[in-house]
Structure 1
Amino acid sequence: MRDMTKEEIKSLDKEHVLHSWSVQGTLDPMVVTKAEGIYFYDADGNKYYDMSSQLVNLNIGYGNEKVADAIAEQAHKLPFIGPGYAVDVKSELARKIIELAPDNMGKVFFTLGGADANENALKIARLYTGRNKVFSRYRSYHGSTMGAGNLTGEPRRFNCETNGVSGYIKFFDPYIYREPIEFKSEVEATKYYLAKLREQIIYENPETVAAIECETITGSNGCIIPPDGYLQGIRDICDEFGIMMICDEVMMGWGRTGEYFAFQNWDVKPDLVSFAKGVTCGYAPLGGVIVSKKIAEYFDDHKLLCGLTYSGHPLSCAAGVATLDVYKEEKLVENSKAMGKILGEILEELKRKHPCVGDVRYKGLFSALELVKDKATKEPLVEYNSDPDNTMGKIIGSLKKKGFSTYSHENCIIVAPPLIIKEDELRAAMDIMDEVLGEVDKMI
């Protein structure tokens, strides 16, 4: 393909491309021309710290030759074969995933991304239990296909809701910072939230409930970290009523929190795990569902009514095998834990320093800063699902002008850099955040 000018690229994009979650006529997309490490560059040569790993998926950063070479080699060897065939890279990737998963896990069903991973996790749980209802949380995002969209709790689900869709039940996150109840401890909070969930399940009839699905750590809806005992409590409720526990690890999986899977921070074993993003870090589309040995055995003599043309696509599986090797060879999970500790210290200092920072929450290299107008009252900088003056957009824009690229949701700014980040890079990037937060302090 011939080289195009910045103007040509942008003109063709605006004329022919529909962008997600946007009013198309208001867009002015940045033209990106190259990237390396934790940085990307626009067409004018400006350099940006990628402090959200794009969509919290580019864990190994840009330009990893091992993964790129694996894709190229597979493209020459066998670019595609239908999902009904056994292929070396698919078999090897499934083996590697099961080895990293808890010892109760048995097999993997491959998808193309997180939404269809969650969609198929629901189908599998319903097939296995013979039940229909599924519980998920209000402050959640599980995807925007019809099933995953209804599983989602935040406003992006509204367009997926129809009169013909049933069985989706919502409950509230353990959002202690925003809870009007003053808990004496995390243990007390956990007891409260689990009691309300258990009561709700009883009122829905436990014998109709197939699954409880949670993002292990609530992702873009504010990095809400479960209090002590909460995930184990959900595990206990599931065991009590024969309900499947599904952990959505699409965003938190593959080292993001300092463990391969976030639930490993709390020593919990789910029945199903949905994954995507960091398994190939965006070098090729891939997702999947890990199922327990019991569920895998069930489908030895029951039909698995799930199917995708590109399930276990050879190019994506080749990328996945190479990516998991990179995690080990470059000790990226360990780096996530080490750099996450430094990030946490920086965030706590920003919270102490800036009146606009009401709370900071973090685990490994995933974090959020919650912005407020008043620390005492916790009044949010922008109201839930309402920002008529585009205040958060202006803050994100100010960060980007200074070379810090990330995104916001409601009144929270997400910070989730690639797991390859070094301490000097992390500190330099967060100095930009410090500067911009100083500007926000003057706004409140």
Structure 2
Amino acid sequence: MTDASTTAAVDHRHVFHSWSAQGSHRPLVVAGAEGSWFWDEHGRRYLDFASQLVYANIGHQHPAVVEAVVAQARDLVTIAPFHAHAVRSEAARLIADRAPGDLDRVFFTNGGAEATENALRMARLATGRHKILTAYRSYHGATAGAITLTGEPRRWPSEPGIPGVVRFFGPYLYRSSFHAANAGEEGERALAHLAEVVELEGPGTIAAIMIEPVVGTNGILVPPDGYLAGVRDLCTAHGIVFIADEVMSGFGRCGEWFAVDRWNVVPDLVCFAKGVNSGYAPLGGVILAPHIAERFARQPYPGGLTYSGHLLGCAAAVASIGAFEAEGILARTRRLGEEVIGPELAALARRHPCVGEVRGLGAFWALELVRDRGTREPLVPFNATGPDARPMAALTEACRQRGLWPFIQSNRVHIAPPCTTTAQEVRLGLAILDEALTVADSHQAG
């Protein structure tokens, strides 16, 4: 077996890492993982409060899912997407059965970016229109169309992107663009703003509105009650396709199969990936409503992927969905958020002046860190790099030194452990975070 120093050296020489400056990137050499933990080559353990990239919803190395992948590999590893196979069909059936409303057809992709790419294409073909509306605080993937749909700074180096993408402000009460005083006002004013954008862009030119039902990387922004229903009504009134990007928020992360279920809203297309099989093998897709799918009943859909519905990914999805149900993981995740994570974070916020706001649900939470609670000045500036980002870098290091692997983004700490994490493990991780936040407290104004 290759030793860790050799692995690191070969990685540095030959692996080109995403979102990284190659010369300075020094990744942790991971040796193994189980449940909510992973460890390095020296045996140092880390409690995974990031679920890697918010995808290990069922935890690491779940025995039933691992065995399903192994068994499928022994039986048949791969078959082209134009064939049918029992495990692919079963994965599609299970996903469709849990999809909101009457959505019942699944187009498989290899991941989330390809899901949003194809949802974009489906909406344009179904409507004959070209514009897609997305929010400023959003992330939809890094392929050409998906990165244009994205509303945050990772889009900038890839511009100019595809034509026809128009952005709007979604609800975010803590930093309201609408000067709202409460959640009700924020939802109403955000909807009025979106309706005005639709009017000014011309409803007859808009193919789709794409929304993360609970915004992920850009803040764990939970929408006010009524907001998603209002978007649904706006889309229905103008014949606009409502696309829910559930890549991060779906499959248990918010305590539901899909986050939209919390508000009983039915989109026209749902993008998924990540939690569908916790990344045990690449898999994503788009779930289609019948009125979208029927557009392609007699004309071919002009899109496809060599590994669409790969059998190993589908086998992992079938086993993961089965384990979620057998172990009651959705209900456990809701309780974890309501009874443990939410209350513990609120108590933590009372102890640390750097915490401006706590928000979230299920196993999907964020602490927004500030220099001054009164002014709400962020702990680090928007899109901070270099010296400006040092307070968050120091907080990250303080967590890791204590055995917690956090999800840090901008001026926020995201708490997104596997949905199978125990209450005891969550409390352990939050106790570590409690200690580490003293680093952020030291940057308070005055």
- Mark yes or no: TM-score above 0.5: yes
Aligned to 2:245: 248
- Percent identity at matched positions? 46
Partner of 1:98: 96
- The Cα of 1:428 is off from its aligned counterpart by 0.9
Most deviating of 273-282 and 97-106: 97-106
- Where in structure 2 are the equivalents of 1:343-358 lying within 5 Å? 343-358=341-356
Q: Which amino acid aligns with 1:347?
A: L
Q: Which residue of 2 aligns with 1:375?
A: 373
Q: Give the AA of the match of 1:161.
A: E
- 1:372 deviation in Å? 0.2
1:160 Cα deviation after fit: 2.5
Give the alignment partner of residue 215 of structure 1, picking from 204, 212, 216: 212
Q: How does 1:1-400 map to 2 (within 5 A)?
A: 3-162=1-160, 165-179=162-176, 181-341=178-338, 342-389=340-387, 390-400=390-400
**Structure 1 residue 27: deviation in Å?**
1.4
Deviation per residue, 1:27-83 (Å, 9 max, x gap): 121111111111111111111100111001001111212111111111121111110
The offset of 1:181, in angstroms, is 4.9
SS of the residue 2:174 aligns to: helix
1:124-177 C-alpha deviation (Å, 9 max, x unpaired): 1111111100000111000000010000000111122226x2100011121110
Instruction: Work out whether residues 408 and 414 of structure 2, in 8 Å CA contact, stay in contact via their aligned partners in 1.
Output: yes
1:397 positional shift: 1.3
TM-score by length of 2: 0.97
The Cα shift of 1:374 comes to 0.3
Q: Measure the CA separation in 1 of the matches of 2:177 and 2:91.
A: 46
Distance (Å, rounded) in 1 between the aligned partners of 2:112 and 2:186: 30
Q: For 2:288, what is the secondary structure of its paired residue?
A: strand
Structure 1's consecutive aligned runs of 4 or more residues displaced over 6 angstroms after TM superposition are none
Alpha-carbon deviations, 1:82-110, whole Å to 9, x = none? 10001101110111011111232120000
| Alignment deviations for residues 171-220 of structure 1 (CA, whole Å, 9 cap, x no partner) | 11211101265424322221111111111111111101000001111101
Structure 1 unaligned segments of length 5 or more: list them. none
Which amino acid letter does the alignment assign opposite residue 156 of structure 2?
A: F
Partner amino acid, structure 2, of 1:141: Y
* Map of 1:435 onto structure 2: 435
**1:317 CA drift (Å):** 0.7
For residues 191 and 243 of structure 2, the distance between their equivalents in structure 1, rounded to whole angstroms, comes to 16
Counterpart for residue 422 of structure 1:
422
CA distance in 1, matches of 2:104, 2:294: 8
2:305 & 2:19 partners in 1: Cα distance? 25
TM-score by length of 1: 0.97
TM-aligned CA deviation for residue 384 of structure 1:
0.5
Question: Is contact 1:106–1:296 with CA below 8 Å preserved after alignment?
Answer: no
- What is the rounded CA distance, in whole Å, between the counterparts of 1:371 and 1:294 in structure 2? 44
1-structure distance, mates of 2:201, 2:177:
26
Secondary structure of 2:133's counterpart equals: strand
3-state SS in 2 of match to 1:259: coil
Work out the CA distance in 2 between the residues paired with 1:179 and 1:95.
Answer: 41
- Calculate the aligned-residue CA RMSD, in Å: 1.1
1:109 and 1:411 map into 2 onto residues whose CA distance is 36
